[in-house]
Amino acid sequence: MLARRISPPRPVWINVDALVSYKRGRGPGADTVPMVVHAHGVELDRLVAGMQLAWLRSDRGQWLGVVTFSIPTAVGDLPVQQLVPSTAFRPRRPETKRGAADSGAS
């Protein structure tokens, strides 16, 4: 089986930082970020609530979740549906959406 739909969709926490390949300290000036970027840039070091719609298997054997979620930005929430590695999300209690993540948050 290479795909499995999840019905109803499953509530999950998504580790936004684990979704991007940004590495701190790379390149000249990487540690010198302007204050405007600190104030208005997308916060990567956070968990956001989302819903897992399905599992897909990659050609490398890795399981990926099809997940919908919103990334909070300075200009409003950005709705996203994307493939997320299984290491970048975990189950969430349905009633928990904001604030402190379920116990065991990373």
SS (H, E, C) the chain: CCEEEEEEEEEEEEEHHHHCCCCCCCCCCCCCCCHHHHHHCCCCCCEEEEEEEEEEECCCCCEEEEEEEEEEECCEEEEEEEEEEHHHEEECCCCCCCCCCCCCCC
Mean pLDDT, rounded, for 78-97: 91
Quick check: 6 pLDDT over 90? yes
Quick check: 23 pLDDT over 70? no
> How large a percentage of the chain has pLDDT more than 70?
80
Mean pLDDT, rounded, for 79-94: 95
Mean pLDDT, rounded, for 13-29: 73
